[in-house]
Structures are given as structure tokens and as C-alpha cells.
Structure 1
């Protein structure tokens, strides 16, 4: 196995998240194979690439064929530029102060007021006009679209900006039934027609997220934005691979008797004599506290249940009568190929989505990068 950014002799500390960069590349290529010829891929690496490491994931995605990067916030875009990444970057959340630093970053514009902010910051050149087609979370309302496109065309004619993109965002992109998405696509097409009447001819048009890229037939959209798909969050059964494996180790073992309680409040009382093992991760590291009593981990090839309250830095598992000693490895989640839980299972246990499991993984857990699954 070829290791990336790791010492020749690797020694696991208390825990680490191991990210397989080959899975990132495979996921990009899997999406590309399903796209219409000529459709470009924008890799969304916001929130530190869902906790996977923005720079490393961005590089892997570009190597696989992605030609754009997307981030939510201005500082995320600046970090990518500082790392030497030169492909176009789009950011959609910023304020007037941020604009002074975004000389080589595309920004989204939803209102005439935002457009005037951009014009007042002579460093910004490229903008993407966003139309709200039904998500109602951002973008220009349809009744303000004509005013926005006319103002943008005016400033483009003056050479103040370049309208490089027109876009929107799906509200039901992960629905196999693409009824909502088709309705939004039609609204976007109407918006593009109005933009052309105003004198705009954008380089890229984009609507689809990861799932929408596979479920929505939109040949007139020449760019798709994939975020969840990069990380193996497979909402429509495309055959994607989760790149991250979260591992730790047992740090203490003890034998307890039937009737003895475990962790704060003794929410769990041992129904039999058993062996309990301490794992040095907790809710400060992103282990959801609500999963206590539901979750399990993999130790020596078998699922071992989490018992008692999950604390800030640690939790306890019930190893039964299995031979367990301090120092042996523990897998909290991975791709499931070795019988370990997946991030999707942790999301189910926590009553949330995989995105939150990945994004919640704390900074105390180092990331290590490798090529190849194991």
C-alpha cells in the first residue's frame, strides 16, 4: 500500500481518520461516466471537504477530472488558493470585507444589492447569478430576476464584471422521482432565456448536486456540483465508495460483575458478568452522544456494542467474554467491507445524515491519507 503524508513506520495514536484518496478519484470518475459529454464537474470541498481535508480532496478530485472547486465561505477559497490550486473556485457566502480578498475567486450573486457590493470591490471579476427555483434558501426571487440580469448585463458591458455562470440549487435532488427537480430545471431554463434577452451569455449553467447529476436529464446544464458523492454518500445507488475509516484502540479493560453500572448516571447496568473496554473518543471528537445504547464498533472482527453514556473524551463498549486487551485496534466506521459499521449506520443511530457524521469529526482526530483501501 502506498502511503501519502504518513511516516514510513506508522504508529496509531489514540485515534485517526484514514482517508483513501483513490476512493475520491473513483467517485469522481463514477459520476463523470454518467454525465452527458462535455459536462464539467465542480467538486464541493466546503467544511474542510466534509471533514476529509479540503486541499487533499481537492487535489485528488482535480486529478480525476474535476475542473472546478466549490466552497461555502471566502476563507475556504483563500486556503485552496494558498495551497497552489489554480482551477476556478466558486464561493457563495461572503460579506463586503471578504470581497476585497477574492481577486481570483468567482462569487455568487443573488440580488442587485449584492451585485453593487461586488462592483464596489474592484478585485472581483467573475460572478455567477443565482436564481431561486424552489429551495427558497437563497438566490434571486423570480420577480427580481429581470432586474438582476439587466443590472448585471449593464455592468458587464462596462467591463466591471463577467457573468461566468447562472445557477440554482435543487430542493429534492436525492429523490429518484425527479418531478421536483424537473420543475426547477424548467424555471432555470426560463431564467436563462430572460438572462439572454438582457444580453448575458454565461460560460456555465449549473443546477444539479451529486444526486441530481444522476437523476436529472439536463443536457443544457454543462456543469454539475458534487459534494456528497465525493465522500461516498450514495443517495441513488451509483456504486460510490466511502473514503474515510475512523479507527482507535482500546486503552483500558476491566471485568465487571452483573448489576454494576457503567459511565455517568449508570444508565447501563450489566445484565451479566462481562468485560468492558474503554475507547478514547467522545462527543468532543464528533461521536454523537445520542448513539449510546445503539451504536457498535468492530473489535477483532466482531461488532461490540457501545454501552453507558458517551462522555466528552471516551466511551465504553461491552466485549462480553471475548479476549480483549489494551492496545488492540478498534474500527468505529469504514466502508463496511470488513464487517465494521459505516457512517450511514452511525447516522441512523444518531437520527441524522452521513454529512453530519463526517463534518462533526473533531480536530483532535488527525487525518492520514493513503492510496488503496487498507
Structure 2
């Protein structure tokens, strides 16, 4: 492991994994185009390189929630690929979005006129997707408001200020494909499509499928699927299958160097509040990552919970149970409270690790890191959350190191 001189940890991102995950998703939804969602800095993986890697895998659309993200995507990938943005408040830079050929989702009646105003400034029609709330209860036009929105959209389209090119929605429980709400939302979505087309709108794309629906619900694929977390190789339905079951592999590995290794006696409290107390004379190791870097405080260990898992010791493919020998690889748990900049692990009484040795918090386990490493889903279970949060919340001060050839600017 090589780290920057001023930071003893890194996140390794395999761009080839992102490329290959998009290829797998294309095969899963062969009748639809793929929009790779790169919001939130590509779920923590890095917006520009991830976007380019997704295009290398065959994505023809890129999605970004915020307008600033969408403009950054366009700057990163240049002209050509379609880009969609869908979350903003009044006063968003609609003229810039239209100028940069970014499609805009309209999720509220007020937005139509603001988008049209931006298009008039640029002198070209905005490309609009109507986002309809089919049951999620979040962002989107309600079915009750849809007729008035369509009347206004038709007038603006006749003026040449905008063109309605798509209809979209979002499932509430796509990760539970047998839930009745999935079928209910599908019916509402299809009713919406018919209503929009009857109003004279010629649609290019209809889309509702996120990662979970892409891998579990072929009937939801329509013209375009919008995978997010699956692009980065994590399962959107861990209760139904691991990443490999869907042809995916995780793209990110998080590793660090031990900062301090020291022997302490039995009965020694560890970290704030002493929620972990050593049961025997043992060796503690300090990992220089904490909640300031995005390590969940809810992944604290000892009496607070199971603690986030960490792979320490040993060589590649040398994974053994804890305590079975000097220097063997083993998965340990965070001891006590997660701090802002560091966490502690109990290495055991026979530990041979030294300051500077590499530990892996989570990884792809495919050659980028040592076999047997925990994955982001393991951390999610320890913290009572989802794998999306584990990778997305990783702090900006953790250097991203890119491996693989897909999506590089020189490719």
C-alpha cells in the first residue's frame, strides 16, 4: 500500500470494476438504455473518473441529483452522452443546464416556468422529463396536479421553450420486489404515461427502475434504467443476493496504516466512555480514520454494539480465525467508541503487527486487497444502515487512488 505522505489511509477505486458492473447491468436489462447515476461524487467513488468508466461500460446516460453535479459531469465527459438532473430549488441555474445540454426533470408545477425562462435566455428548447410521484411521497408531481402541468407544458412546448422527452418516477420498495406497492406504483406510472402521450407529448424515454428494480424486476425496465449503487458493485438487495449473484463486484477498497501499536494490561478502558475494557493483557492498534472521515459512529464496538470489522495481519489468502497464531490474518472488530479521527482495535495478546502495517476496513476481495476482507455490507450491518451510506459518506480528506484503465482521460 502506498499512501500520501500526509495521510495514512486511502480508498482504492477500481475503474474496471465500474465499467464491468455497467456491462453486467446492460446484460440484465438488454431492452433498455442504462443511466449510470453518479450523484454524491459517484457514491463517494469520484465523479469524473466514475462517470467516464460507466460510459466505457456502455452507459448512454449519466444521472446527477443536483444541478451543480450535472454541470460537473458535463465538464468531465464532454458533449455526447445524455445527462439528467432532478433535484433543485427555485433559482437553480436552468440557463446553464440548457446551455450545457443537460436534461431537467420537472417535479413541481412551478419548475416548468423557471426551466422555460432559462431556455429563453439561451435561445434553445429545454429537454424536460416529468417526474411523477406514483406513491413514494417524495419529489414529484402528484397525479392531481398532472393535468394542469400538462396544459402548461403543452403551451411552453408550442412556444418552443421546452420539449417533454421523458416521464419518470421512483419506487418506494423496489428492494422488496414482492411488496404490493411495487405493482401499485407500476399501474400509476403506466396510467401517467398514457395521460402524457394523450396530451400530445412524444416520449423518448420512460423510466422508473433504480438498482433494485433493474436486477429484480424486468417489467420495470421500460426504455431506460437508472442504477446507482449497483454501478459501484454493491448489492441493492443484500437479503436476496450478494454482488456476485448479480454479476457485480465492489469497486472500492478502504485501507489504512496502523498509527500506534501498544501493549496494555487487563482491565484497561479503551476510547471515550470506556465502553470496551480489555479482558486480558493485550495489544491495541490505532487506525487513523474516524467519523471525520465518514466511519460511522454507530459502528462503535464493545458494549455499544458489534463494532465495524477490520482485516488485519497475515498475507494474501492467509485468513485464519482470531487467536490461532502469531501474525495470522483475522477479522477484528472496533473496540469501543469511534472517535473523530481514529478507531481502536484489540489485536490480541500475541499480536505481531507494528505501526505502519496495513489494515483493510472493507474491500473488493478480488486482488485489490487481501482475501477475506470485510465488505461495505458488513459495515452496514454493524452500523445499522445500508451499504450506500458506508461508501457515500467517506470523507473528502481520504485520498482516492484509481486503478484499472477504464474511464481514464487518456483512454
Question: Is TM-score (shorter-chain normalized) higher than 0.5?
Answer: yes
2:97 paired residue number: 102
Matches within 5 A, 1:265-284: 265-284=273-292
In the alignment, is residue 19 of structure 1 matched against residue 13 of structure 2? yes
Q: Deviations over 1:300-319 (max 9, x none)?
A: 12112211222111111111
Contact 1:131 1:142 (C-alpha < 8 Å) held by counterparts: yes
Change (3 A) 1:255 1:287: same
The unaligned stretches of length 5 or more in structure 2 are 302-306, 314-328, 406-411
Change (3 A) 1:178 1:32: farther
1:169 paired residue number: 170
In the alignment, is residue 71 of structure 1 matched against residue 64 of structure 2? yes
CA distance in 2, matches of 1:265, 1:139: 45
The more displaced of 278-287 and 11-20 is 11-20
CA distance in 1, matches of 2:195, 2:275: 61
In the alignment, is residue 190 of structure 1 matched against residue 202 of structure 2? no
2:404 paired residue number: 371
CA distance in 1, matches of 2:215, 2:126: 32
State the Cα distance separating 1:220 from its structure 2 match: 7.4
In the alignment, is residue 335 of structure 1 matched against residue 364 of structure 2? yes
CA distance in 2, matches of 1:367, 1:57: 12
State the Cα distance separating 1:27 from its structure 2 match: 1.1
SS at match of 2:213: helix
SS at match of 1:152: helix
SS at match of 1:307: coil
SS at match of 1:83: helix
2:143 paired residue number: 142
SS at match of 2:334: strand
Q: 1:296 aligns with which of 289, 294, 309?
A: 309
SS at match of 1:146: helix
2:266 paired residue number: 258
Matches within 5 A, 1:1-374: 10-11=2-3, 13-37=7-31, 39-86=32-79, 87-94=81-88, 95-103=90-98, 104-121=101-118, 122=120, 123=122, 125-177=126-178, 179-218=180-219, 221-234=222-235, 235=237, 236-237=240-241, 238-293=246-301, 294-300=307-313, 301-320=329-348, 321-336=350-365, 338-371=371-404
How many residue pairs match? The answer is 363
State the Cα distance separating 1:10 from its structure 2 match: 4.3
SS at match of 2:402: strand
The more displaced of 352-361 and 181-190 is 181-190
State the Cα distance separating 1:360 from its structure 2 match: 1.0
2:325 paired residue number: none
State the Cα distance separating 1:34 from its structure 2 match: 1.6
The unaligned stretches of length 5 or more in structure 1 are 1-8
SS at match of 2:137: coil
Contact 1:182 1:216 (C-alpha < 8 Å) held by counterparts: no
